[in-house]
Structure 1
Amino acid sequence: MFSDRDSARADVFVGGRWRAGSAGEFDVLDPATGAVVSRVSDGSEADGTAAVDAAAAAFPRWAATAPRERSELLRRTFELMLRDRERLAALISAENGKALADARAEITYAAEFFRWFSEEAVRTAGGFGAGPAGGTRTVVTHKPVGVAALVTPWNFPAAMATRKLAPALAAGCTTVLKPASETPLTTLALTRLLVEAGLPAGVVNVVPTKRSGPLVSAWLADPRVRKISFTGSTEVGRVLLRQAADRVVNASMELGGNAPFVITADADLDLAVEAAMVAKFRGGGQACTAANRFYVHAAVAADFADRFGAAVEKLTVGPAADGHDIGPLISARAVTEVGALVDQAISRGAVVSHQAPVPEAGGFYYPPTVLVDVPADADVVRNEIFGPVAPLVTWTDEETLLRMVNDTEMGLAAYVVAGDLGRALRLAERIDAGMVGINRGLVSDPSAPFGGMKQSGLGREGARAGLEEFLETQYFTVDWRD
């Protein structure tokens, strides 16, 4: 059992108090070993309703709280996260399997959302102007949307929670949050830091559960819930959007990806390898923004594959506690699904050119793998891999390249590495993706609007846009006659 104080007995948090979930308990596993990390209270729909009760009761006072006071709470939480970075990173690694270096980076990134939105909280926007016909003035203002339901995934248990909580709290919303059942411990630890920072009772309520569907459906059916913010698969997102439509609930969706990574003939290949290693293997490839398919110009394809493959073979794979570069996948099922994609590609003519070794026994490991000679229509190219596999497809004609890149229902992230920056920007403009990394392997930044096109989601997180997702626009028309 994990010894961290936050996981010794983790419960449901409602109305400022910790309580046992009414549906029993469930196990949280260490993907590196398959061992039980902790047991967590399992919340029921009744617990979810109690959470909404608390959030609705706290909403009027929190919405009326001065923006500076909300800002200071977020800033204090940012500082507490940095104070506890090592402890929180160890917690992520224990329940998620992520390498410690990646877990530390996630905590730093996650904390920054509290700092960013502490600054945005006091920068309220509005407008004032004369009516075109004369005789009136228009005053534009904003108000918090209301009780917000937040649903987060397992792959970034700290960052996905803070990316939703921080703007919601900055805007004046109260929240009910359901963390992924695979990784609830990190969210519960963050909740304790919010309480330490001075969080008023009922403003944040957390309900871990193994029964995600019934709980979230109950929230969406509750007339007091006015916002749903979900990060997860496109399939689940479609279901939640249908449910949200029944009550016209304000919805933000950050859904699946299938990110292309384009390398041009004039690219700096050392830079391309550096960017590719980050874009593909950060978190073991278990990220919606992970590079999913590599399009390498035929003139440099062999050279890039050799350099990239050599870097991949140097990766060490194993438990985070032992200091490895890459940890396990989240589950045995994930290993099976990634393996099936690779096997199908090989059956179509793809070749494994490079691999890193994995532990012989224990844990949910899949070897970091480079595939060459991959058909452009192989399943490993057309589907989100969510694992440490890099399929390489060659190209020569730019128009054909763009057709391949955009031939997907997804449009979250993309990457372009090119020597000519102007060409890179022109390519980026023609790629159907909400975010494009140019000559770098990262696209996420709290100060930038994170989100996708097509079936990769609705709305944006981060930047000013992230705050606006939790605000309603209201205007007053004022008689202004002499």
Structure 2
Amino acid sequence: MSALVAEAAPLTVAERETELLARVPSGLYINGVWEQGSGAPITVTDPATGLALKQIANADAADGLRALDAAVDAAQAWAATAPRVRAEILRRAFDLLQERREDFALLMTLEMGKPLAEANGEVTYGGEFLRWFSEEAVRISGRYGLTPEGTGHMTVSQRPVGPCFLITPWNFPLAMATRKIAPALAAGCTVVIKPAELTPLTTLYFAQLLEDAGVPAGVVNVITTSTSSAVAGPIIADPRLRKLSFTGSTPVGRKLIQQSAQGVLRTSMELGGNAPFVVFEDADLGKAVDGAMLAKFRNIGQACTAANRFIVHESVADEFARRIVERVGELRIGRGTDAGVMLGPLVNEAAVESTDALVQDALERGARLLIGGVRPDGPGSFYEPTVLTGLAPDTALLTEEIFGPVVGIVTFGDEDEAVRLANATEYGLIGYVFTQDLARGHRMIDRLETGMMGLNTGLVSNAAAPFGGVKQSGLGREGGLEGIHEYLSSKYTLTPVS
């Protein structure tokens, strides 16, 4: 007699979260082994509720150096691994990420706060670095030819730079890890990665995925710590380290560059931004407003690529502001796992205080508040999306990176003034320009002092394109054809003609 087996009831949202968190590793990942750190455990919290999600290991300086030991020990074998093998491992990692995308999206929403739809978008974006660099691993090329004098044969080959130390920020927990790890592994480098203390769970879960994809022990090592400087300092000072890649604030980047100078390390620095969003009088305002909502409110405004200063022609500024206020009024804020939520919490209470301080400074200097400017009651580190006009030239909103859901609008009269306002910053990561005049658009490409530009679009990041800035927004590029060369060193050999 056959028995009818009842199907298990689907998990509730809370049960799904608990089950996923139980599967996320909590240890340091050193030489292919999960182990406990030497310090008191780190508690990772949900910024939407303020409640603890999970406790994880806390590395000290000795743990960091053991991770570097593992990367150094594995370096020679990984560099000698066939490019096709490295490529196939990265491709398997890409495939596994697609299979586990719901896990990664939920995990990022829990620890960082972004809505699930945006977290899913980050899984797609982050995964593309695995796929792109799996393809680039087999295309590392050199050159061969006679010297101009005809006296010898020149061979130029590319070699992995060696063990790398990667430091990632909290705002894109998956994409920042894949954007650094994938080119390093494709080039034949081993790595130690230190994720941000606020959002380490995604990186720990990703390390487990890389192990499942076939990354050998010691090739990728993960250390989580609450004492970043104390742990990073000895690693950077160790002569065996050959590369440092950091994404974060410009002040911290400057300190790391100073430390790296002692060992003459190769450095990649993706630092702060103060992106201008320029709207000319002939712009398609519908497209400009759509672009502004993307460029400002994606990731709750917590992105180095976020539009920071809205520079709008005086003839369309009022209508642009009206449309922005209308759209902002439709944004629903809340916990990112809740249906219909379009804007989650800021990462912690300090971020709320910083954002509010910038808004209050603007108001004290005569700015006009059109919507928002309020810290909602209740748990979680939320801040209402805000629009301000009439900003004074010395307003902090125009000089500091906001990293929050605040739109500040200033006006201009002609193209030269727009360029002057846009370039009036020490940063130069990205700019956005909206105009239907093709010639003007090309002039702005030439005149804006930025490493990237969106022309009639508010979203430019792509794994196939070089990401990075000029001035104090950083050094080097991530992604694109340029990305893998940050982890390669050219070697020239001369063979005399016999």
Indicate the TM-score class for this superposition, using the shorter chain for normalisation. Answer: over 0.9
Deviations 1:267-304 (A, max 9, x none): 00000010000000000000000000100001101111
Partners of 1:71 and 1:6 lie apart in 2 by: 31
Q: Structure 1: give runs of 5+ residues left out of the alignment.
A: none
Partners of 1:272 and 1:230 in 2: CA distance = 32
- Which residue matches 2:206? 190
1:358 is displaced (CA, Å) by: 6.8
- Contact 1:276–1:291 (8 Å) recurs in 2: yes
Amino acid at match of 1:367: E
SS at match of 1:295: strand
Q: Give yes or no for contact 1:85–1:104 (8 Å, CA) kept in 2.
A: yes
Alignment-derived partner of residue 96 in structure 1: 112
Structure-1 residue corresponding to 2:59: 43
Checking the alignment, whether the CA contact within 8 Å between 2:183 and 2:487 is kept in structure 1 is yes
Instruction: Find the partner of 1:360 among 354, 377, 386.
Output: 377
Q: Map 1:194-343 to 2 at 5 A.
A: 194-323=210-339, 324-343=341-360
Summarize the alignment of residues 49-198 of structure 1 with structure 2, pairs less than 5 Å apart.
49-198=65-214
Contact conserved, 2:24 with 2:204, CA < 8 A, in 1?
no
* Structure 2 residue ranges without an equivalent (≥5): 1-16
Q: Could you tell me which of 363, 387, 390 is aligned with 1:373?
A: 390
- What is the distance in 1 between the residues matched to 2:261 and 2:390? 44
Partner of 1:465: 482
Look up the equivalent residue of 1:209 and give its one-letter code: T
CA distance in 2, matches of 1:92, 1:7: 14
| 2:431 is the alignment partner of 1:444 | no
Supply the distance in 1 between the matched residues of 2:295 and 2:392 (Cα, whole angstroms). 21
Further displaced range: 424-433 or 195-204? 424-433
- Percentage identity across aligned positions? 50
Q: Does the CA contact (< 8 Å) of 1:7 and 1:185 recur in 2?
A: no
Return the alpha-carbon distance in structure 2 between the equivalents of residues 351 and 367 of structure 1: 16
Distance 1:8 1:473, change over 3 A: closer
Q: Which amino acid aligns with 2:27?
A: D
**1:389 is the counterpart of 2:387:** no
Measured in 1, the distance between the counterparts of 2:39 and 2:286 equals 53
Per-residue CA distance 1:425-447 (angstroms, 9 max, x = gap): 21121000000011111121100
Q: Is the 8 A contact 2:21 2:53 kept in 1?
A: no
Dislocated runs of 4+, deviation >6 Å: none
Question: Does the aligned pair in 1 maintain the 2:60–2:227 contact within 8 Å?
Answer: yes
**Is the CA contact (8 Å cut-off) linking 2:389 and 2:410 kept in structure 1?**
yes
Q: Report the CA distance between 1:135 and its aligned residue.
A: 1.1
Residue 34 (structure 2) aligned to one of 1, 7, 18: 18
Query: Deviation at 1:9?
Result: 4.9
Report the Cα distance in structure 2 between the residues aligned to 1:238 and 1:439, rounded to whole angstroms. Answer: 33
What CA distance in whole angstroms lies between the structure 2 residues aligned with 1:161 and 1:469?
15
Q: What CA distance in whole angstroms lies between the structure 2 residues aligned with 1:2 and 1:154? A: 22
Deviations 1:149-197 (A, max 9, x none): 0000000000000000000000000000000000000001111110111
Whole-angstrom CA distance in 1 between matches of 2:131 and 2:73: 27
Distance 2:327 2:21 in 1: 38
Residue 411 (structure 1) aligned to one of 422, 428, 431: 428
Q: 1:2 to 1:257 in 2, by over 3 A?
A: farther
Please give the secondary structure, in 2, of the residue aligned with 1:191: helix
| 1:422 Cα offset (Å) | 2.3
Q: Distance in 2 between matches of 1:172 and 1:338?
A: 41
TM-score (norm 1): 0.98
Amino acid at match of 2:361: Q
- d(CA) in 2 for partners of 1:262, 1:378: 18
Structure 2 partner of 1:479:
496
Task: Give 1:28's aligned residue.
Answer: 44
- Amino acid of the structure 1 residue aligned with 2:197: S
Deviation at 1:375, TM superposition (A): 1.9
The number of aligned residues is 481
Aligned partner letter, 1:341: L
Tell me: CA distance 1:359–1:340, structure 2 relative to 1, closer, same or farther (3 Å).
closer
> What TM-score, normalized to structure 2?
0.95
Q: Distance in 2 between matches of 1:374 and 1:320?
A: 31
Query: 1:185 & 1:34 partners in 2: Cα distance?
Result: 16
Post-superposition CA distance 1:321-360 (Å, at most 9, x none): 1131000001111111111111111111111112398753
Classify the secondary structure of the residue corresponding to 2:54: strand
In terms of mean alpha carbon deviation, does 83-92 or 414-423 score higher? 414-423
1:36-78 deviations in Å (ceiling 9; x for gaps) = 0110110111111111111111010000000000000000000
Q: RMSD value over aligned CA atoms?
A: 1.2
Q: Which amino acid aligns with 2:308?
A: N
Give the SS at the match of 1:225: coil
CA distance in 2 between partners of 1:388 and 1:2 (Å)? 30
- Which whole-Å deviations, capped at 9, do the CAs of 1:384-433 have from their partners, x for residues lacking one? 00000010001112212211111111000110011112211211210000
Task: Give the AA of the match of 1:147.
Answer: P
Contact 1:252 / 1:457 at 8 angstroms: preserved in 2?
yes
Q: Is the 8 A contact 1:269 1:304 kept in 2?
A: yes
Contact 1:26 1:40 in 2 (8 A): yes
